[in-house]
Structure 1
Amino acid sequence: MGSRIWVCSLVISIQVLIIASQTNNQDYVALQSLQDIWQNTPPNWVGPDPCGAGWDGIRCNNSRVTSITLASLNLTGQLSGDIQELAELQILDLSYNKGLTGSLPPSIGNLKKLARLILVGCGFSGLIPDTIGSLQQLISLSLNSNNFIGGIPPSIGSLINLYWLDIADNKLSGTIPVSDGNKPGLDMLGHTKHFHFGQNRLSGEIPPRLFNSNMTLIHVLFESNNLIGNIPSTIGLVQTLEVLRLDRNALSGTVPQNLNSNSLLKELYLSNNKLTGALPNLTGLNSLNYMDLSNNSFTASAVPSWVLTLQSLTTLVMERVQLEGQVPVGLFSLPLLQTVILKNNQLNSTLDIGPSYSNKLQLVDLQSNYITDYARRVGYNKELILVGNPICQETGQSQTENYCVIPLQSNYSSYSTPLNNCLPTTCGSNQLSSSNCKCAYPYTGTLTFRAPSFFDLRNLSIYTSLQSSMMGFFQSHQLPVDSVSLSNPTKNSDDYVILDVEIFPSGLNRFNRGGISGVGFVLSSQTFKPPSVFGPFVFHGDGYGNFAGTHKSTSTGVIIGAAVGGSVLVILVLLAGVYAFRQKRRAERADKQNNPFASWNPDKSSGGVPQLKGARFFSFEELKRCTNNFSETNDLGSGGYGKVYRGTLPSGQLVAIKRAQHGSMQGGLEFKTEIELLSRVHHKNVVSLVGFCFEQDEQMLVYEYIPNGTLKESLSGKSGIRLDWMRRLRITLGAARGIQYLHDHANPPIIHRDIKTNNILLDERLTAKVADFGLSKPMDDSEKGHVTTQVKGTMGYMDPEYYMTQQLTEKSDVYSFGVVMLEMITARSPIEKGKYIVREVKQAMDRTKELYNLHGILDPAIGLNSTAPKCLEKYVDLALRCLEETGFLRPAMSEVVKEIENIMELAGLNPNAESASTSASYDEGGKGFDHPYSNESLFDYSGIYPPSKLEPK
């Protein structure tokens, strides 16, 4: 033992002597700690001198590490608490590495010189540590598009130099913190320009104290949360405001009249709230481009005259706001007007677009009003939609007039910015042809614009201007980019515009890590600014796997080799002995791991060793480590069985660990039977069992982690994910396929016995996965038809025939699934305020009327389109067949799956297509919505981007 200590001490002493001559020893140890727990680190991360050898992504000043930029490297692992040792670190950018998971260590607050913390599009989770408030030099904090939970730390209010605050697209909850006595709050951020908080679960009122006249905010983005109460009038005090998004919350009351004092306001989104009273008077907002007040409960009124004064207006959206009377002809004369959407109001009389309408006008959508006539004007041949008005109900009108037909939507998903005067090239080996017709491996990703000033995607010239702007920026900052291609413009349900991006390398046909580092950093740090029409954006880069070779410095290697060579010869023999001893111990441990049931004790009524397919044994200590000692931060919730914790395995895989309370534990034999059953279940629509723990009087099941929670949470709005009709169809089909697999293909067949929206989970692609088999019942050959068993399940979903007879069959799951189908279209709990949803639907139904007269029950968030009514009626028919009182009248799950596939095809969907491509595409959304070392000669931050130049404009 003494010789081993001597050997280790000698090796460490040699390393310290060598490192001291170049990289600071403290910094080297910290980087080594990161390298030990990360996978896919750059291949030139070798040797003891990161600064002298120029490790990719590492920048130094006088032997101290000042910058770590490692975007889109496919890194996996966690962020070590040893990061705190990098005392001179100014920039930390780990964006677009979805494999980086776990919580942020509280020790990150010790990086007192950190100016930029950029973790966009990773997989970090847990609470945002309160120690963030200690980073007094921080100017940019970008934690968006992760899985953070809990509240916004009030300590962020202490960051007096903060310019950029983006925590959007997480799972943050609680209220928005403001200062109170000695406690800091976000109202103290007088220099901050950006509050990007959208796509979270924030609740409570927007505090009036949040805004004051000393603030310099230009973007306030609070969309898609659970905020309630009034819009505070104090927002009118922020004279610098340009973009205000409060849409998709539950805000109520009147719109403050002093909103028109925000004279610089360009984009205003107040839609999908519960606002009441008169429409606000926005006279004086001469910069306003985009206004959406839709889906509120304003007092009925004519189109307000102040709208005609908004000379900069490009887009007017006021759907379902109780507008009445005639549409003023002067509206269409606004010089920059492109889009007018006034659907579902009470507008009437004659529509007159007038002789002097804007030459930019592309779309006038007045569906479902009471317009009786149209004064045709020579010259206007753009899109006009009057479907659902009396004018289109006259005999023959719907067949002869284009405005009485819903136009086919143009498909822009095939659009790509044009080639640069060259002939396209056929490429192989997974390469793509660039705008300059050169074959290469591009760096790909998506640009999501959160508040564009345009609605219509058909103005293709704006994408060309964006392409030109990006190329000009890359060239002026000496980044190794040959060309940029933009394609597939789409607009999601949250009014985000999404563009696919391909960035091609110059010189070689692939980027090295320095090039990716440069491109990734300027996009993640918002250094690049797009044309103003696009507004605030977020970039989500894909992992890059085609790096050019990294060449190490020969001279450095020779020096290091010479320095350590003599020492290696001295200790070689001793190391060989130590190595042999350690290999023997490893072999012993490997034997134990290869026999994970060595600790299984059949003498404790647990039966023989379990026969598992795919699941593995975890020791209690392993699960204790991967949950940080079952900390509250990793607590996902609890039920009758016990608690569920989030954990991260050493491989980086996220898991959900279901830990039984001692009072609810099964006997050993029952537990063994359950894990044997679950280990045989393998289907894309069923949650997978990763393993189990059965030692130290513990029973734990380890499942794959499903990031987007339960279907119940999404239907209720708690998850922040918006489910339109098409997404609900895909989720319904996925859940049905999972249940069919249990009934028809599992061995033995399984009756779930507790099908409900709380037991259907949604993964990062919104794929449905059936979960929680605590009440499941396997059916052997002797039990075909039914099994008599004690009644178990959840009230509201339970099969009444099973409840009365205690005879359980597969059709009991079918009944429960029928309740889920109704919950999908109503977003109501099965039993709510004493009312049973099945009875409510049956009583309201009238098959002679449109949508079976269910308008008052349907969830408005479905967003029914022109093809939905017929599809929805078939959907309701299928749900009611599943809900027949007697089981033999209900369809089998295989038939249910086929019917849902037919309904999807009728709706124009491919039932075999994947769900959302990423979490970023929910809205995308989702999430995502959802989602980038440096060769010093190519990208030197210290030379090209001194701190003063890094501040976003």
Structure 2
Amino acid sequence: MHKLLAVLVKQSPTARKTEAEPMGWQAGAGPPLSGPTVRFSHGIWRSGRWRTKETLPKFGRKIANKGRQTCDALMALMHAWQDTPLNWNDGSDPCIDNWVGIACANSRVTSIILSSMGLSGGLPGDIGQLTELQILNLSYNKLTGSLTTAIGNLKKLTTLVLVGCGFNGPIPNSIGNLERLRYLSLNTNNFTGSIPPTIGNLKSLYWLDLSQNNLTGSLPVSNGTTPGLDMLINTKHFHFGNNQLDGDIQFRLFNSRMTLIHLLFENNRLKGPIPSTLGLVKSLEIVRLDRNALSGDVPSNFNNLTNATELYLSNNQLTGPVPNLTGMNSLNYVDLSNNDFEQTKIPSWLTTLQSLTTLKMRYTNLAGELPAALFSLLHLQNVDLSYNRIDGSLNISSNPSPPLELVDLRSNLIADFKQQRDYSHTIGLILVDNPICTESGVTDRFCSRPANIITTPYSTPWNNCVPPSCSPDLTPSPNCQCAYPFTGLISFKAPSFSSLTNATIYNSLHDLLMTFFRDAGLPVDSVSLKNPSRNFIDYLVLRLEVFPSGEPNFNRTGIIGVAFALSNQTFKPLKTGFNTYTFMAENYNFLPGLSGPGGAKHKSSKTGIIIGHAAGGCVLVVLLILAGIYRSMPN
């Protein structure tokens, strides 16, 4: 019997030998077991015996119970989801058999990363049994239903990323129990209800993204008995855009202890004044309050935000004078358009913003003559001051900014254009509905309504190779290989530039992505960026294609790595002008075992994997039976 057990243990792919004591045994908890050990998730084979819950000494039962709970919880997930990875099987051990997407330590699950695996179903409460879990990323799957309150049991969780699923219902209050959490990304789902005030308990939180849901209600602030967002003094990112949040932004939401760098509240229903306490958060770099119903004067201390690089206050109901941005010399992008400011002379700070690339102030009641120095700002690309009361003579200077592409001054009171005779049309100038264009006989192009100019959209160029002729279901890569790329839309929420045609900008993004994937050791051959455009909330959107290396399609591990990097903000284009982003992946239908052009040819491998793991499971069952028989025999 001993020899048979030894042979079975040796053959079992679900067994793992170790000469060291099992991790988790506590000194002084009881006498250690002696002899060689074979550990399973359900118990321990040691000293010639199978030690299960019933036969382990009291100090050892705790470990067996935890292993059983881990296995039960993952089995519950497996049965709740459709299209789980091929080696997820009832007869195997998730930790010992290295289930795809699962990482363990001491037979306890510490991370579940299954981004873009084509999963469907819900998230059962059994997830709450995985109390050692530190990372949970299920992004880009078809997961629906509510987010279970049992998520609050995962007290060791540091990363919770559920981007682009289909979760609905309220965000549970129990999420405030996750006091070690650093990354919380629930964006691009269908969550409803209000933001849980308990999020204010997450003192370690670095990244908070609840954008693009259907959240309502006001922004929660602490009141002495209830926590609120104002308590998150270590958080760097508040991303709440594209919801239905309403009510006033309370005065107490901001304070000088906060270290926020990104404040994104765009496209909500927030109303009332901008609180002056916002000017106390001097670490802010990106401020998006646009597309709300904010009213009143912009606080006079707003220009304390001297680290700000992007400022969006457009499409509100702000009144009073145009805000004074003197001293905000780091600004690249300013959009104050479509507000109810009182008539204001052209502000002197316009020509002092030496880093400015984009100035948008449509419908802001500006009056007076534009200084020629504005158009000589070194990095200026786009000026939109249309629908104002700008008058006098336009002088775009004899040496305008080299990257300047567009100057839109339609519907103003401009009577003369100094460079009219030698204007070379290198800059897209629009003066329609100005006095200069209402005179009879004026035929200059800048007096015509701009047509939709058709330009060749940017696309990553071929890498010194001849583009191949691929079958219809395959895509040629920049390295001229036919493959099934991982694709999606990458949206930059506050880029520091406005150009859609400058290839140098987009080539630099391509190089950043390739350097990142290469340094991360991911199986990426090349990437392609296509068709940059601005959407209705002024995000810069590009199509991203990531091509596999060495094979026509990614395997599951490769997809998990790439999708995790893009959903978890592991790729960070810092200090490049692209700034913060979201990525929305398209379904990848070319994984082994999936139906479709790229997956069908791997069906035979699925059978082999299932048979192999089934055999391992059978050996485990035999071991359990034999262990039971052995225990019943006399010593």
Same fold (TM over 0.5): yes
1:386 and 2:431 are equivalent in the alignment = yes
Q: Which amino acid is the alignment partner of residue 278 of structure 1? A: P
Q: Does 1:396 align with 2:419?
A: no
1:558-573 correspondence runs (5 A):
558-565=615-622
The whole-number CA distance in structure 1 between the counterparts of 2:557 and 2:528 is 21
The answer to whether the 8 Å contact 2:86/2:609 transfers is: no
Task: Indicate the residue corresponding to 2:143 in structure 1.
Answer: 100
> How much does 1:301 deviate?
1.6
**Separation in 1 of the partners of 2:202 and 2:556?**
32
Q: SS in structure 1 opposite 2:577?
A: helix
Is the CA contact 1:413–1:490 (under 8 Å) kept in the aligned structure 2? Answer: no
What is the alpha-carbon distance in structure 2 between the residues aligned to residue 18 and residue 392 of structure 1?
Answer: 81
Change (3 A) 1:413 1:91: farther
Whole-Å separation in 1 of the counterparts to 2:457 and 2:355:
31
Q: CA deviation at 1:567?
A: 7.9
Q: Is residue 446 of structure 1 aligned with residue 489 of structure 2? A: yes
Among 52, 56, 59, which residue is 2:100 paired with? 56
Contact 2:531 2:542 in 1 (8 A): yes
Contact conserved, 2:87 with 2:613, CA < 8 A, in 1?
A: no
Distance 2:328 2:156 in 1: 41
Match of 2:522 in 1: 479
Query: Quick check: 1:18–1:48 contact (8 Å CA) kept in 2?
Result: no
Q: Is the 8 A contact 1:316 1:339 kept in 2?
A: yes
Q: Secondary structure at the match of 2:245?
A: strand
Q: Any conservation in 2 of the 1:73–1:545 contact (CA below 8 Å)? A: no
Deviations 1:8-32, CA, capped at 9 Å, x for gaps: xxxxxxxx97633599211111111
Secondary structure of the residue aligned to 2:42 is helix
When structure 1 is superposed on structure 2, of 64-73 and 216-225 the one drifting more is 64-73
Per-residue deviation, 1:362 = 1.2
What's 1:215 paired with? Answer: 258
Q: Using the alignment, how far apart are the partners of 2:100 and 2:452 within structure 1?
A: 47
Could you say what secondary structure the match of 1:446 adopts?
Answer: strand
> How big is the shift at 1:407?
3.1
Q: Give the deviation of 1:486 after TM superposition.
A: 0.5
Structure with the largest fraction of helix: 1
Opposite residue 260 of structure 1, the aligned amino acid is: N
1:737-781 per-residue CA deviation (whole Å, 9 max, x = no partner) reads xxxxxxxxxxxxxxxxxxxxxxxxxxxxxxxxxxxxxxxxxxxxx
Letter in 2 for 1:409: N
AA partner of residue 276 (structure 1): T
Does the 8 A contact of 1:128 with 1:152 survive in 2?
Answer: yes
Per-residue CA deviations over 1:582-604 (Å, capped at 9, x if unaligned) read: xxxxxxxxxxxxxxxxxxxxxxx
> In 2, are the aligned partners of 1:443 and 1:502 still within 8 Å (CA)?
yes
1:564 is displaced (CA, Å) by 2.3
CA distance in 2, matches of 1:297, 1:406: 26
Give the letter aligned to residue 85 of structure 2.
P
Q: Which ranges in structure 1 are unaligned for 5 or more consecutive residues?
A: 1-15, 570-953
Please state how far the C-alpha of 1:459 moved relative to its aligned partner: 1.4
Q: How does 1:62-81 map to 2 (within 5 A)?
A: 62-81=106-125
Look up the match of 1:576.
none
User: After the TM superposition, which residues 906-917 of structure 1 pair with which residues of structure 2 at under 5 Å, given as runs?
Assistant: none
1:305 aligned residue: 348
Q: Is the 8 A contact 1:216 1:241 kept in 2?
A: yes
Matches within 5 A, 1:690-729: none
Q: Matches of 1:499 and 1:20 in 2, distance apart?
A: 51
Deviation for aligned residue 1:568: 9.1
Q: How does 1:340-419 map to 2 (within 5 A)?
A: 340-376=383-419, 381-397=426-442, 400-411=443-454, 414-419=457-462
Aligned residues: 554
Match status 1:252 vs 2:295: yes
- For residue 91 of structure 1, what is the aligned residue in structure 2? 135
Instruction: Name the TM-score, length of structure 2 as normaliser.
Output: 0.84
Is there any run of 5+ residues in structure 2 with no aligned partner, and where? Answer: 1-38, 45-63, 593-601, 627-635
Within 5 A, what are the aligned runs for 1:89-488?
89-97=133-141, 99-376=142-419, 381-397=426-442, 400-411=443-454, 414-428=457-471, 430-488=473-531
TM-superposed CA distance for 1:414, in Å, is 4.4
Structure 1 letter corresponding to 2:251: P
> Whole-Å Cα distance in 1 between the matches of residues 88 and 455 of structure 2?
44
Relative to structure 1, the CA distance from residue 563 to residue 255 in structure 2 (aligned partners, 3 Å threshold; closer, same or farther) is closer
Counterpart for residue 20 of structure 1:
43
Whole-angstrom distance in 2 between the partners of 1:522 and 1:215: 27
Q: Which amino acid aligns with 2:619?
A: A
The amino acid of 1:19's aligned partner reads H
8 Å contact 1:416–1:487 — kept in the other structure?
yes
* AA at the equivalent of 1:20: G
- Structure-to-structure mapping, 1:503-652, within 5 angstroms: 503-530=546-573, 532-548=576-592, 549=602, 552=609, 558-565=615-622
* Structure 2 residue matching 1:475: 3-state secondary structure: helix
Q: How far apart are residue 509 of structure 1 and its match?
A: 0.8
Deviation at 1:494, TM superposition (A): 0.7
CA shift for structure 1 position 515: 0.3
Give the stretch that moved more between structures: 206-215 or 240-249: 206-215
| 1:479-529 Cα distance to aligned partner (Å, 9 max, x none) | 000000000111011111100010000011110000000001111110101
Question: What code does the residue aligned with 2:433 have?
Answer: G
Contact 2:41 2:95 in 1 (8 A): no
d(CA) in 2 for partners of 1:81, 1:392? 68
Q: Distance in 1 between matches of 2:444 and 2:260?
A: 48
Shift of 1:535: 1.6
Q: Deviations over 1:227-264 (max 9, x none)?
A: 11110111111111000000000100001111111111
State the distance in 2 between where 1:92 and 1:190 align. Answer: 24
Moved more, 231-240 or 560-569: 560-569
**Separation in 2, partners of 1:18, 1:77:** 26
Q: Distance in 2 between matches of 1:299 and 1:262?
A: 23
CA contact (8 A) 2:500 2:532 kept: yes
What is the Cα-based RMSD across aligned positions, in Å? 2.2
Residue type of the partner of 1:481?
A: V
Secondary structure of the residue that 1:174 maps to in structure 2? coil
> Relative to structure 1, is the Cα distance of residues 378 and 201 closer, same or farther in structure 2, using a 3 angstrom cutoff?
closer
Counterpart of 2:174, as a letter, is: T
In structure 2, relative to structure 1, the CA distance for the partners of 1:122 and 1:342 (3 Å cut) is: same
Please tell me whether the aligned partners of residues 294 and 319 of structure 1 are also in contact (alpha carbons under 8 angstroms): yes
- Secondary structure of 1:467's counterpart equals helix
Partner Cα distance (1:225, 1:407) in 2: 31
